[in-house]
Amino acid sequence: MLSCQLRFFCYVCGHENLLDLEVPFAPDMSVEQVTCEKCGDQTHILATACPACKESFRYFLSDLDFPDEIRTLAKTYVHIVDSIRDAIKEYVSEFDVSLPKRWSVRLTCSCGHEYTASLSLPH
């Protein structure tokens, strides 16, 4: 884990917020929900640290609960695939669609190392 401090400004009121983070090294990602100290607006943060230099990290800020959105889309995809399977079962004896197990993002560190970080998806 990389201990670091993240300074960000609230999208709603512009207040400067400081957050102490414990960021895992890739391929793992941390998922944080932070609340603005001034107005109470919530921001979601995904963060991962470079496994090579172990000194820098990358993060994504979003008003949306991004991991939850990805999981919801994955559940919908599984439901659609199940519906297709049920609709064609009398015509096709075997129907197999591989489902992704993780959502991944390719990143490049300031040290030059390229790596992948990911979140688990529901099955």
Residues in the chain: 123
80/10 Cα distance (integer angstroms): 37
63/4 Cα distance (integer angstroms): 22
Ranges of each domain in the chain: 2-120
Give the tens place of pLDDT for each residue, 47-105: 999 999 999 999 888 777 766 777 788 788 888 988 998 899 888 888 777 777 888 99
Confidence at residue 28, expressed as pLDDT on a 0 to 100 scale: 95
